[in-house]
Amino acid sequence: MSFDLSFSFPKDLKIRKTSQYEEIFGKSKKLNGEHFRILYVRNPLGYPRLGIVVGKRSVPGSVERNRVKRVLREVFRRNKPFFGSMDLVIVAKKGSEGLDYAQAKGEIEAIVGSRFS
């Protein structure tokens, strides 16, 4: 699959099953930032997949939790080639509800840096 020109976000790019999350939490490497923790593991699929965790303790309001998820999905969707062939789980920390797209993208790029390329 080639995602260079496609800005879609089909089901194939989502980590949806509990077993997939457990595998990533068990085997992953971790990168920490101020507002996000990124857990990642290389996959053999040739394209990246994304899972998002936004807990009630870190972002109490449901509206804010859903907004954080939308922003993170958009960062991933627009920058798929940046992540290479990785399974990623982005865990939101306290304070992440105040970030807009540009701030979230900047922080994620700073956290990831050149580790995936």
Question: Rounded to the nearest 5°, which phi and psi values hold at 31?
Answer: -125, 135
Number of domains in the chain: 1
Dump pLDDT digits (tens) for 73-111.
999 999 988 898 999 999 999 999 999 999 999 999 999
Q: Judging by beta carbons within 10 Å of its beta carbon (0-12, 13-18, 19+), is residue 108 exposed, middle or buried?
A: buried
User: Is there a domain that residue 28 lies in?
Assistant: yes
For position 72, which CATH number holds? 3.30.230.10
The dihedral of CA 111, 82, 38, 10: what is its sign? positive
Q: Is residue 93 situated within a structural domain?
A: yes
Sheet holding 36-42, edge to edge: 29-32, 36-42, 86-92, 49-53
CB atoms closer than 10 angstroms to residue 16: 10
Q: Which pTM value belongs to this model? A: 0.89
pLDDT tens digits for 40-81? 999 999 999 999 999 999 999 999 999 999 999 999 999 988
Instruction: Establish if 4 belongs to a structural domain.
Output: no
Residue 117 lies in a domain: no
On the question of pLDDT at 2 being above 70, the answer is no
